[in-house]
Amino acid sequence: MDSWLAPDVPRLPGKGVPLRLYDTASRGLKTVVPEPGQPARMYVCGITPYDATHLGHAATMITFDLIHRCWRDAGCEVRYVQNVTDIDDPLLERAERDGEDWVVLGMRETALFREDMESLRILPPRHYVGAVESIPQIVEQIERLLERGAAYRLDDGTGDIYFDITATGRFGYESGYDRELMIQLSAERGGDPERPGKRDPLDPLLWRGARPDEPAWPASLGPGRPGWHIECAVIALSLLGDQIDVQGGGNDLIFPHHECSAAHAETLTGRWPFAQAYVHAGMIGLDGEKMSKSKGNLVFVSRLRGDQQDGQVDPMAIRLALMADHYRSDRDWTDDALKTAEQRLARWRDAVRQSAGPDGATALRRLRERLADDLDTPGAIAVLDRWADAALAGEGGDAGAPRLVAEATDALLGIAL
């Protein structure tokens, strides 16, 4: 699948510092740097394209964009892969509801997502990969799981194949959740703990046998379509290798999605852990409720950008508003947050148009330190606010500072001034 166009990233003097990130699995901060001479490898769970990109998706994509930018600034080559779940129940249900072809729906929303990503200056993944185009590799890996006894076929004539969660002996390490919570979340998030005939209620679906009126692909396993967790495990393994540095997504994916995809990958490779760090962004909500397609309480990036009548908002202000609080906090989108970001952006723009300001190298060093500390964007914003206030007050005599600060804001925060 095509990715989107890369924005320019100014080159900054010196080098960024090693990045520390909160890892869900070890429940603590970790320095996440690749082995010397190796690229940094990141897999981020992308959209299920049945509706337009909302501010929750945008916030999550911005979070991983900041990691991408920090690594590059620290001199690492970055291999970044993102998927599109272009076949799954929610897509089929929406297409059915609207009397639309599910392929057309998926293509249209994916195209809109790419435009939104470009407008927000998100660096594109090197590989942007759909589930459908990955079916041959997914089938191959499910066959290997069956051969090893880590997968089994339900004997109810459906052709459905499940993963045995006891295969790694480590199931549960990533989320750290107790069994009761796992069962509850599995039921809420696409699993089927109530289904009879499974070895364990938490066993996730690997392959759904063909049903009448549902798309299915011919395969050695019998015609059908892939389950959700195996999709991400296989795409990551085939493009990034056995182990990766960051597995990312929103915190709604901690369980069952990332738990199961890690267990699939670890069973296939025999290596643990699948990811050095499991990094999760907080949920963006509206009026105290998680923003989600199923709840319908969405604010779309494209609508704010003015593609559709509701007035135009600078995408840089959207980006800045979503970075005003720490990425791990669940938080609400508010009109006030957007207004504050618009005012801040205007002030920063005025400041970098001054003929001089306080020492630019110091501002750059502080900005790098704040971001390397688990992406402390509120701290990074405070550094820039202080610099801008001083520059606008006529303090400091560094004639190179306005330009350096503008370039650092662009390269590290993805905000073009």
Binding site for Zn ion (CB under 5 A): 45, 232
Residue among 80, 82, 55 at smallest CA distance from 70: 80
**Residue number of the CB atom closest to ligand 5CA:** 56
* Residue showing tokens 């400041």: 351
Residue among 382, 406, 392, 391 at smallest CA distance from 359: 391
Residue among 213, 269, 275, 218 at smallest CA distance from 244: 275
CB of 154 or CB of 232, closer to Zn ion: 232
What does 79 bind: Zn ion, ligand 5CA, none (CB cut-off 5 to 8 Å by kind)?
A: none
Question: E strand or H helix at 300, and its extent?
Answer: none
Q: Which of residues 68-107 bind ligand 5CA (CB under 6 A)?
A: 83, 85
Rg (CA), the chain: 22
**Rounded to whole angstroms, how far apart are CA atoms 277 and 152?**
30
What is the x/- site pattern for ligand 5CA, positions 129-158, by CB under 6 A? Answer: ------------------------------
Q: Pick from 22, 40, 48, 363: which binds ligand 5CA (CB under 6 A)?
A: 48
Q: Pick from 138, 142, 232, 406: which binds ligand 5CA (CB under 6 A)?
A: 232
Q: Any residues with CB less than 8 A from the CB of 386 and at least 6 apart, and which?
A: none
DSSP-assigned letter for residue 161: E
CB of 291 or CB of 337, closer to ligand 5CA: 291
Q: Any residues with CB less than 8 A from the CB of 348 and at least 6 apart, and which?
A: 384, 388, 409, 415, 417
- Determine the interface stretch with ligand 5CA among 41-49, 139-147, 197-205, 381-389 (rule: CB under 6 A): 41-49
CB of 151 or CB of 253, closer to ligand 5CA: 253
Put residue 199 in one of left, alpha, beta given phi > 0 → left and psi -120 to 50 → alpha. alpha
- Determine the interface stretch with ligand 5CA among 23-31, 54-62, 200-208, 309-317 (rule: CB under 6 A): 54-62
- Determine the interface stretch with ligand 5CA among 2-10, 35-43, 157-165, 282-290 (rule: CB under 6 A): 282-290
Name the 3-class secondary structure at 63. Answer: helix
- Determine the interface stretch with ligand 5CA among 40-48, 72-80, 307-315, 365-373 (rule: CB under 6 A): 40-48
Residues that bind ligand 5CA (CB under 6 A): 45-48, 56-57, 59-60, 83, 85, 232, 249-250, 252-253, 281, 283-284, 290-292
